[in-house]
Amino acid sequence: MQEYKAGYLKLQMMHFAIMSNVIGNGLELQIENFIKEYPGTGLIVIDTLQKVRKTVSANVNPYAADYDDINTLKQIADKYKLAIVLVHISVKLVTVIR
């Protein structure tokens, strides 16, 4: 693998996906297929977790649901020795300008 000086990265090394399946319904396979196609992958960013999580019943503890979803992705990160960054927005604040 070729090393790059801090702050410089070849754009062709970056890949973006704007559509995906959800956790438990194909996302894991999509990630694994991507890693097989690009075996040098070291970082995956998911923005936002809410877009890839399965629908959760109102009766489910939100912490438990987060844990289950994150654990699924952590297993992939551990298996392939890469980092997965999840963007999780817990509260959106609305600012009123007067």
Cis peptide bond upstream of 48, omega within 30:
yes
Q: Where are the domains of the chain?
A: 14-87
Threshold 0.85, pTM exceeds: no
- What stretch of H or E contains 74? helix 62-80
| 3-16 core/surface letters (b: 16 or more CB in 10 A; e: else) | eeeeeeeeeeeeee
What size, in residues, is the chain? 98
pLDDT band with cut points at 50, 70 and 90 for residue 11:
low
Alpha carbons 52 and 63: distance in angstroms, whole number? 16
For residue 86, list its beta bridge partners: 46
pLDDT at 55: 79
Q: pLDDT digits over 56-89, tens only?
A: 777 888 888 889 999 999 999 999 999 999 998 8
Alpha carbons 48 and 89: distance in angstroms, whole number? 8
